């Protein structure tokens, strides 16, 4: 069935460091892929998305490329800020579960000044 696997956290970085959070998926067909972010005390917000292979989603300096050959959708940012500290969720829609979102376990990011 559909599933999403994210790297375990927490990930702790210094300000201006490069960020990668790995995400791989298992799904039939051609799912759409998403990154959601949850800031402390808040609900999840959509960060970026990609709907087909080789698409790159981007927002607020974050990027992720839909790689069908490696079934991956890794999140990257060139220079993180303290304000990026949050929990990041990779998710997919499609395949076995139709159009309901399936989430990964989430990765905590802590950025130190």
The residues that touch another protein, with contacts defined as CB under 8 A, are 4, 32, 41-46, 49, 89, 93, 98-101, 103-106
Which lies closer to another protein via its Cβ, residue 8 or residue 54?
8
Place of tokens 């790689």: 67
Q: How far is the CB of 17 from another protein (least distance, A)?
A: 25
Residue 70 backbone phi and psi in degrees, to 5: -110, 5
Which lies closer to another protein via its Cβ, residue 33 or residue 80?
33
Q: How far is the CB of 89 from another protein (least distance, A)?
A: 6
Q: Which helix (H) or strand (E) holds 62?
A: strand 62-65
Q: How far is the CB of 10 from another protein (least distance, A)?
A: 12
What's the rounded Cα separation, in Å, for the pair 98 and 31? 9
What's the rounded Cα separation, in Å, for the pair 85 and 54? 28
């Amino acid at each position: 069935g559909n599933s999403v696997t994210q790297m375990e956290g927490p990930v702790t970085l210094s300000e201006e460091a490069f960020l990668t959070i790995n995400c791989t998926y298992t799904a039939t067909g051609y799912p759409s892929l998403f990154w959601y972010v949850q800031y402390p005390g808040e609900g999840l917000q959509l960060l970026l998305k990609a709907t087909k292979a080789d698409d790159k989603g981007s927002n607020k300096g974050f990027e992720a490329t839909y790689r069908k050959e490696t079934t991956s959708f890794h999140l990257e940012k060139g220079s993180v800020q303290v304000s990026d500290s949050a929990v990041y969720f990779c998710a997919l829609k499609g395949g076995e579960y139709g159009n309901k979102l399936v989430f990964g376990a989430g990765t905590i990011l802590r950025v130190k000044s």
